[in-house]
Amino acid sequence: MEQRRFGATDLIVSAVGFGTWPIGNTGNYGRSDDDEAMNAVRAALDAGVTCFDTAANYGGGHSEELLGTALGARRRDIVLVTKGGIVFDPAGKTIRRDSGREHLTWCIESSLARLGTEYLDLFLIHWPDTGTPMAEAMETMAGFVRAGKTRYIGVSNFNAAQVQECLDALPDDVPLVTEQVGYNLFDRRWEREVFPLCGRNNVGIMAYGPLAHGLLAGAYTKDSTFEAADWRASGNVFGQPLLAPGNFGRNLAVVDALTAMATRHGTTLPQLALAWVLANRAVTVALVGARTPAELEAAIATTNTVLSPEMIAELDTIMEGAAGQTTAVPG
Please list the active-site residues: 58
Residues near 174 by Cβ (< 8 Å), separated by ≥ 6? 141, 142, 145, 146, 153
- What residues contact 246, with CB distance under 8 A and at least 6 apart? 323
Asked if residues 123 and 141 have their Cβ atoms less than 8 Å apart, the reply is yes
Q: Helix, strand, or coil here: 170?
A: coil
**Alpha-carbon distances, residue 175 vs 15, 17, 51, 141 (angstroms):** 21, 22, 19, 10
| CB neighbour list of residue 179: distance below 8 Å, 6 or more residues apart | 154, 155, 156, 158, 163, 194, 198, 203, 204, 205, 206
Q: Give the amino acid at 264.
A: R
- Which segments within the chain are labelled E, that is strand? 3-5, 12-14, 16-19, 51-53, 79-84, 86-88, 94-97, 120-125, 150-156, 176-182, 204-208, 283-289
